[in-house]
Amino acid sequence: MKRFFAIFVARNLEFFRDRATFFWNLLFPLLLIFGFAFAFSGNNAVSYKIGTIGSPSSKMEFLHYQYLQFIPYTSLEPALKKLSHHQIDMVLDFPSKSYYINKESQTGYVAEKMLLSDRTEDLKRLTVEGHVIRYIDWFVPGVIGMNIMFGCLVGVGFVIIRYRHNGVLKRFKATPIHAIEFITAQVFSRFFIVAFMTIIIYAGANFFLHFQMNGSYFDLALVACLAIICLISMGLLFASRVKSEEAAGGIMNIIVWPMMMLSGIWFSLEGTPKIMQDISKIFPTTHFVEASRKIMLDGANLSGVMDNIIALGGMALLFLVISAFVFKWE
């Protein structure tokens, strides 16, 4: 435990004494949150997503308008849930000859005006009431997930590769420290740092923006902790054998960019090709972002996000086992 604690303390001091890295990790996510809060505070939407149930009985010009995306649903309930959360702007229910809008949605108001300009088919107007979910409420779990991703992959992966490249790991090998002690200390140190930074970022931004939280903070913290462990394990996996920081940069791009684009961090994957949605399930950030949004926006409990929890736990265990077998000191 003395050797473990010595490495743990040394790694934390190395991070906190590097002021540039410390403040960049702290300020960048905050600037991103406030920047998007300002940018999307007005009506900046340029396209509209329309959910459809069934097929129209007549040819509607509305179905051929530009800047409209039509997303088919097999039943009404999931479509109305998406509508209440502002993930789509309108629902057309052709079998019942009606359409639904969210009275609190600005984009739904514009979409309705376009629909009413088409007199091809008369549809009954119905409304769905939903919580006022700002874009920033939907976006903040993605920012937290992105910050955790970078903090874990870069903080573990690049540090260990730099240690290996500079000969630090070779010197550790000559000491009584075992590989499991070194790896465990790195995991706990990075977990402490990322968890600490995540709490500061969330609490600091929430003080001014007042994010919507319909679930439990304990459930959200538990999912975040599991995501941190999973992504630290991924960082250990790709750092177990890589020898140079140049090679690590290429590998990092291959890992990070697909995760950023396909994990639902920046935009909803609703309406994207199914194969893209299926591919997104292999990324830990997808499961963290999905679970966080369910807890914060839908008020889900742990049983409601159990599939995401199982996925994160399984990935973490798999990454740790593989990295333990393939880890090299030199």
Domain boundaries, the chain: 2-38+134-326, 48-128
> Taking the C-alpha atoms of 4, 9, 14 and 20 in order, what is their torsion angle to the nearest 10 degrees?
130
User: Quick one: pLDDT at residue 81?
Assistant: 83
Q: What is the pLDDT of residue 304?
A: 92
Per-residue confidence (pLDDT) for residue 218, from 0 to 100? 94
Q: Are strands 98-102 and 90-93 parallel, antiparallel or unpaired?
A: antiparallel
Q: In degrees rounded to 5, what are phi and psi of residue 52? A: -130, 140
pTM beyond 0.75: no
Long-range contacts of 9-12 (CB under 8 A, 24+ apart): 11/159, 11/185, 11/186, 11/189, 11/190, 12/189, 12/192, 12/193
| pLDDT computed for residue 166 by the predictor | 79
The two three-digit tokens of residue 246, written as one number? 């140049």
CA distance 24 to 38: 21
Low-confidence ranges of the chain (pLDDT < 50): 43-46
Instruction: Give all strands of the β-sheet with 124-128 in edge-to-edge order.
Output: 68-73, 48-53, 90-93, 98-102, 124-128
When computed from its CA atoms, the radius of gyration of the chain, rounded to whole angstroms, is 23
pLDDT at 20: 59
Per-residue pLDDT, 65: 87
Strand 124-128 and strand 90-93: the pairing is unpaired
Which pLDDT score, from 0 to 100, does residue 44 have? 47
Q: How many residues does the chain have?
A: 330
pLDDT of residue 36: 60
The string of pLDDT tens digits covering residues 139-196 is: 889 889 988 998 888 877 777 877 887 788 788 777 877 777 777 787 888 899 899 9
The pLDDT assigned to 271 comes to 67
Alpha carbon separation from 135 to 71, 113, 228, 237 (Å, rounded):
20, 22, 25, 35
Secondary structure tally for the chain: helices H, strands E: 13, 5
